[in-house]
Amino acid sequence: MHHAEQKQEIPLVLFDKGWYRFARHLASPNFGARPAGTQISLVVIHSISLPPGQFGGDEVQQLFTNTLDWNAHPYFEQIRDTKVSAHFYIRRNGELWQFVSCDDRAWHAGQSSYLGKDNCNDYSVGIEMEGLEGDFFEVAQYESLTSVCAALQQNYPIAHLTGHEHIAPGRKADPGAQFDWHQVRKAL
């Protein structure tokens, strides 16, 4: 008499110390600790392209790692010495990059408020979509976005999803009018 082998299921660990296993990792020096006891409850969607309207280069990665050549394009003079980061960046082809552990505070929201609570960087995860504010985004980007948001919801008490334009009205307008909020909310 023999016993059937018991198949041991190994749980899939999606995050290791706040780093998502399905993203390309490139650590940014632009981050800090979240305030003690902070619940990560918000995802903020942004759009970015450097120079504006140009896609496919490494300028966003360089900006988030303080290695951008400020003299490489006239536009860069406007953002010279800016120290910013986001947790995630989704390229036009859906490729997902991560720059800051979700357990840490990235520098993406700036002066901001959501549902009466200021300093969104303290309690949010920032996701940059490669694109131009107010323009369309690619299907592959929405697929990556909904995948990473679903993973975040499994690992953090995420209760809300919003745009940079909604937490900094009048100051920011991204991701803009063509971002498909309905599709993202339906997928989640």
Is residue 130 part of the annotated active site? The answer reads: no
Residue 155 CB-density burial (10 A; 0-12 exposed, 13-18 middle, 19+ buried): middle
Please state, in angstroms and rounded to a whole number, the distance separating the CA atoms of residues 188 and 182: 10
The two three-digit tokens of residue 58, written as one number: 């490494």
Active-site position among 59, 128, 130, 133? 128
Q: In 10 A of CB 52, how many CB atoms?
A: 12
- Side-by-side strand order, sheet with 24-25: 24-25, 96-98, 88-90, 124-130, 42-48, 160-163
Please state, in angstroms and rounded to a whole number, the distance separating the CA atoms of residues 61 and 66: 9
Measured in whole angstroms, the distance separating CA 143 from the mean position of its chain's CA atoms is 14
Residue 41 CB-density burial (10 A; 0-12 exposed, 13-18 middle, 19+ buried): middle
Read off the amino acid at residue 42. Answer: L
CB contact set of 52 (below 8 Å; sequence gap of 6+): 75, 132
Please give the positions annotated as active site.
128
